[in-house]
Amino acid sequence: MPSINIHLSRSSVVTIDGLAASGKSSVAQGVAQALNVPYVSSGLLYRAVTYAALNHQINLEQESEILAWVAHNGLKLLPKNDGNQVFLNAHDITEQCHSSLVDANVSIVALHQNVRAWVNTQIRALEKPFVAEGRDMGAVVFTDAAVKLFLTASSLVRAQRRSLERPEETEQIKAMIEARDTKDAVNSGAATDAVVIETESLNLEEVIAASLDAIAART
Ligand code: DC
């Protein structure tokens, strides 16, 4: 990991947004480790709500049922700088949240504005400083973040990266990613003051280094 002399103040947040499989989590993890702060995966909370709803046969279109369930059960995100965990009534459900079934359904749940409000409340209540990773961290949730980054790459490159973590073929993953891009578009976007990092031809270390350069230039 690059050694870096950046100090985030106690109230600081760095946001890293990007489309599905753009490498946000890995980059957020590398940046958080270099800054010696935790990272916060907002997507993992959307995934946890989706997993729970699927598991309890709640119709994913029924926002009020999902919210009622969430209100009566303990879903808790544990941010760290080497990964995030999510617990449901004290059971670690992190692994189950990264299944292809959750991948295929999470965009439906993330469209509900009251689910989004619930996720945003959880995340804003976490102790700062941290790196927040997702789709709308810079544009909506932490509009006054110290630094905002937005990662981009083509759907093919994102599918090739994701194929290392999923059993399906790259072509199928690419189709799923494109379907998710379409559904997620309404809640995804770079803040007007975000630094856009094109990751197409960069490896993970290079994207982390570019992110740290952008942070160093603005803190
Ligand atoms: O980053 P991810 O693939 O783990 O995110 C899972 C889903 O959650 C993604 O399809 C869109 C949604 N999401 C969102 O709408 N807003 C966020 N801030 C983070 C994720």
Domains and CATH numbers, the chain: 13-218 (3.40.50.300)
- Ligand 1, atom 5, lies closest to the CA of 43
What are the Cα distances from residue 214, in Å, to 3, 33, 74?
15, 16, 37
Q: Name the residue of 13, 42, 162, 178 whose CB sits within 8 Å of the most ligand 1 atoms, as the mutation to test its pocket.
A: 42
Say how many Å lie between the CA of residue 5 and the centre of ligand 1. Answer: 31
Cα 26 to the center of its chain, rounded Å: 10
Say how many Å lie between the CA of residue 43 and the centre of ligand 1. Answer: 4
Q: What is the mean pLDDT of residues 132-141?
A: 97
0.85 exceeded by the pTM? yes
Give per-residue pLDDT as tens, 153-212: 999 999 999 998 888 999 999 999 999 899 888 888 899 999 999 999 999 999 999 999
pLDDT higher than 70, residue 1: no
Q: Is the CB of 47 under 6 A from ligand 1?
A: yes
Return the structure tokens found at 64.
């009020």
- Ligand 1, atom 10, lies closest to the CA of 107
Q: Is the CB of 107 under 6 A from ligand 1?
A: yes
Give per-residue pLDDT as tens, 98-107: 999 999 999 9
